[in-house]
Structure 1
Amino acid sequence: MKKLCISLLLLSTSSYVIANEYTPTQTPKISGFYVGAGFGSFGYSEEDSWGYSNNKIEAKADGNTAKVYLGYQFNKIVGIEGTYTNYGKVKAKVDGYSMEPTSISLAANLGYTFDNGIRPFGLVGMSNLDLKQNKEYLSDDNGAAFKFGFGVEYTPVSLKGVQLRAAYEMDMYAVDYIDVQNGFTTETNLYALDSLYIGASYKF
């Protein structure tokens, strides 16, 4: 009986040690700095067609979105994230008008990291837009925008810090368009730049 008890004690101790050794690899990495990149589609929408006099301009997205993002996740719920986005090109069918917008944003990343590594999340924050127009039809080529988005991340335990992401993000802004022919600013419209993308990051 004494030998059996000693054997059970040793077995229990060994099991405890092995469990402790492997516990860190059983759950995803939670807090830390991360940096990543993404690629996806580009969408552009406007509240109304615009332009000058009776020559209305209706612009359409052309190309794909590329982005670089970095941030810090404090716990399973809260993080903060900065993103640089190159949206692609917006072209109009008339007058050769185009723009190639980019944005730099700072947003709160709010979600929940489950033990299996899946994390649904939402983004809300502000962006600084640079529209890069080839012709100055919009009065503000640079300005602030409201940033929001949502998506899901997956952190495979076996990859130790690698995060895979699928997400949708939008920059929404309001700006006056210019009546070039008459030389004065007319009405204010709402515009939106959005992207549906996949990305990968590494958490340190």
Structure 2
Amino acid sequence: MKRVLAGLLLAVPCLVQAADSHHTGNSGRWFVGAGFGSVGFDDDGFSDDLEDELRFITGDRYDVDTETDDTALLLKAGYRFNRIVGVEVSYIDYGDVVYEINGDEAFTFGIAAISLAANVGYTFNSGWRPFAIVGLSSVDVDADDSDRYLGFHYGFGGEFTPQNMSALTFRIAYEGDIFVDDSLEDESGFDLYAMDIGTLNIGATFNF
């Protein structure tokens, strides 16, 4: 993951240089940016099934909860073709997801994702632009062993580019990744679960 992120960061100056040499008028702009936000996690009923399984095995009642106290960190780079369509590569470090059983920490794993997505919206003359994001992602789940899963990347939000500072865009969005963790079926006999992790975030991009 670190090597992939480093490669992305090293590629940004090359993208910017290419944009400078080919940019004319409103034909398109490159951008790079960063952001941070809160994290939410939905395990598609795995916690409930785990409670039932523990109750069946022991005869006692168990409460299984998840905590996501970390702050998500985002890095972005992309290209806006026109007022409507853009494409972006994102790296999101969601931090740790903690499972607690009866209030005690049971296990923890970190989640991060790299995605390639289309950004579709409309830029109004005022500088406001609502948008939606749809794409694919590679989700890295760092548990006992680091596993990667193909994910669906999605999001929606709004951004604002001040007319007197066209090189800077402010952004608020909700973005997430849905992936199926097949290791739970292999290890426990449970069903497949579509894990959904997302972040409500704010950030800014610099436009070239």
For the Cα contact (< 8 Å) 1:30–1:113, is it kept in 2?
no
Structure 2: gaps spanning 5 or more residues: 1-25, 56-61
**Higher share in helix:** 2
Q: Return the TM-score normalized by structure 2.
A: 0.74
1:201 is aligned, of 194, 201, 205, to 205
Shift of 1:51: 4.6
Cα distance between partner residues in 2 of 1:171 and 1:93: 22
Shift of 1:58: 3.6
2:141 is aligned, of 118, 131, 142, to 131
SS at match of 2:191: strand
Inter-CA distance 185–176: structure 2 relative to 1 (3 Å threshold): farther
Q: Return the TM-score normalized by structure 1.
A: 0.76
Cα distance between partner residues in 1 of 2:109 and 2:178: 16
Q: Deviations over 1:87-112 (max 9, x none)?
A: 02110113630011000000000001
Cα distance between partner residues in 1 of 2:189 and 2:87: 37
Shift of 1:200: 0.5
1:159 is aligned, of 158, 165, 169, to 165
SS at match of 2:114: strand
Cα distance between partner residues in 2 of 1:186 and 1:119: 43
| Structure 1 ranges of 4+ moved more than 4 A | 50-53
For the Cα contact (< 8 Å) 1:44–1:192, is it kept in 2?
yes
Inter-CA distance 88–30: structure 2 relative to 1 (3 Å threshold): farther
Q: Percent identity?
A: 35
Larger Rg: 1
Cα distance between partner residues in 1 of 2:66 and 2:142: 14
Cα distance between partner residues in 2 of 1:110 and 1:179: 36
In the TM superposition, 1:54-203 aligns within 5 A as 54=54, 57-94=64-101, 96-133=106-143, 135=144, 141-178=147-184, 185-203=189-207
SS at match of 2:142: coil
| Matched residue, 2:5 | none
Q: Deviations over 1:159-192 (max 9, x none)?
A: 1310000000110112234479xx5543211210
Amino acid at match of 1:127: S
Cα distance between partner residues in 1 of 2:114 and 2:169: 22
Q: Aligned pair count?
A: 171
